[in-house]
Structure 1
Amino acid sequence: MTPLTHHEILTLVGPFARDEWRVDLAATDRQNRCVVFEPRTHDNPEDPSSLSLTEHLQLENPARGRFFLRRTLTEASGLSATLEVTGEDPASVYAQCAHVPPHDHFRHQAGTLAAISYALEYRRPAPNAEPGWRRRFTLGEACVRGRRLQFDARTVPGLPAKLTLDWHPRGDIHLPGDLLAVQGWAWRPLQLMPGGWKATVKLSRREPERSQEAEERFLATVAHLEQTLSQPPARFHERFKWQRWRVVFQRSLAIQGMLAILSAIPILYWGDFGQDGQVPLWTTGVPPVMLLAIFLSWSREVPVMEIPPLPKPLLANAWEQGPTTEGVSD
């Protein structure tokens, strides 16, 4: 890979220069063929409620006929979103990037600002598919009641999105595992990890349905957390009592399946299956097949064999740790 020459840089930045983008020569990495542009600010002084965004552009040319443009938009609070475009020439990737308005990346959800990152992909003509550029959801971020929420859909197509929720800076009480799962079957229970909690959210395997579901479920999660954490913990049990019992049933499906397999084994061996009470050889393969069916039914997730805790009212006075916060039982 040869470093970028001054002549190549002038050729690559032509489409950008027409829109008055200036190259930041100090930040440009010629060795790695990466051109960096000076930042640009987007704000509306006449509208105090509008967002003030700082836009950064970075163009990479790792190989002949391959260009990668990354646009990073940062809001005044520090929340940021990106748009990634891959194409065969700099003019096309910049044109597609310019078609996505900067403010499309930011949404107000239940009073909380959420940032959504996308990737633009070009679909070549194929049977039963329309050619053209398609916007794909990659990452959603928000700061909800002091906690950083991240909704990562950059996984292998078919796998669920990864969700992480950081601890509150002042510390958190023991959040209930079903805090997000009460929203529906797509949300898996929270699991404690260093620095916060993690979970997964089931999504469709194919586009564009996958991106549509990811955006809807990310924004729904932001609204749910904002509404839930703005009220006392005891209110959570009152609002979602029956949903919490549904989560108990959902979390126990794996153990229910295992118990069903264990129950089927004596039935297969004690039943009267043929002459002289002999058990057919095929019956020995039934338990493994049933066990395999349990794993396949989890939509490419590993089922957790657990006896989930029964839902109980939360006893704390507030979600974040404080001098008056009591313990919580999940």
Structure 2
Amino acid sequence: MSILLTGCAGFIGFHVAQALLDRGEAVIGVDNLNDYYDVRLKEARLARLAERAGFAFSRVDVSDREAMAALVAAAPDVTAVVHLAAQAGVRFSMVDPYAYVQSNVLGHLVILEACRKISGLRHVVYASSSSVYGANRDLPFRETDRVDAPVSLYAVTKRADELMSHAYGHLFGLPQTGLRFFTVYGPWGRPDMAYYSFARAIVAGEPITLYEGGRLKRDFTYVDDIVAGVLGVLDRPPAGDAPRLLNIGNHAAEEVRTLVALLEAGLGRRAVVRDAPRPAADVEETFASVEAIGALAGFRPAVGLAEGIGRFVAWFKAWHAVA
């Protein structure tokens, strides 16, 4: 038996792969190693996975229907799929919207079609996003909230994935759970994300831009908590054909300027700050209700922002050779 994991060289995928291997699972990792950010970081993650027993890798784009169909046909023992591959980044969706439709929408469809061909499949867990809540102002965000007012194309593609999965559950009985991730951070993270780009700028003495004085709030969720939630949900497939949607976050909204202060303390340097208006694609606050995933899988976030940023800074210093 094996688990098919897409996006294995990505930030969350890398950590999920390690956790699956740690508990003795065989993992078939899929990634196209695109150059949205420094490929060397992806290659370094992948190199660590390649050293592990039980890991096999295929360089495949999930939107390539023939390649994915061939991959699934060659791996008849797959019992679960963790689909994390996607074009990431909210703001970049205004620069290259086609990449998001190709990877997130077509890619999700290709995965669903491939999963229909897996006879022993027990569960598909896939990545959605807190961005689907869009302009919603009711806090905390709950799975029962309306999600019909997106403020970015990225959010649109993730909501499209949820709707596709609902249809495939209804039509084909495909057991699925979509996880709405809330601002994941930690070691081996994505350089395009705020906490990582802030750290690089602070070390270099370059200015960082804070919107509305850093008063925007985010539900920062440490990657180890995310991984625990993913595995807990993976082990509990839905009983019926109605796909589930679950928030997975830290259940704590923190101001971005608090994040900056923690980075300054850990790096021993002051940030050079520029203020700017909030971009149209950014929301004022994200805050996850996690009661549903807690009831299902016993999920309880364990790592607060101060501890998590401390761990990230330690990794960041080692990776970038910062004294």
TM-score under structure 1 length normalisation: 0.24
For the pair shown, the structure with the greater C-alpha radius of gyration is 1
The structure where helix makes up a greater share of residues is: 2
The structure where strand makes up a greater share of residues is: 1
Select the structure with the greater relative contact order (CA < 8 A; seq sep ≥ 6): 2
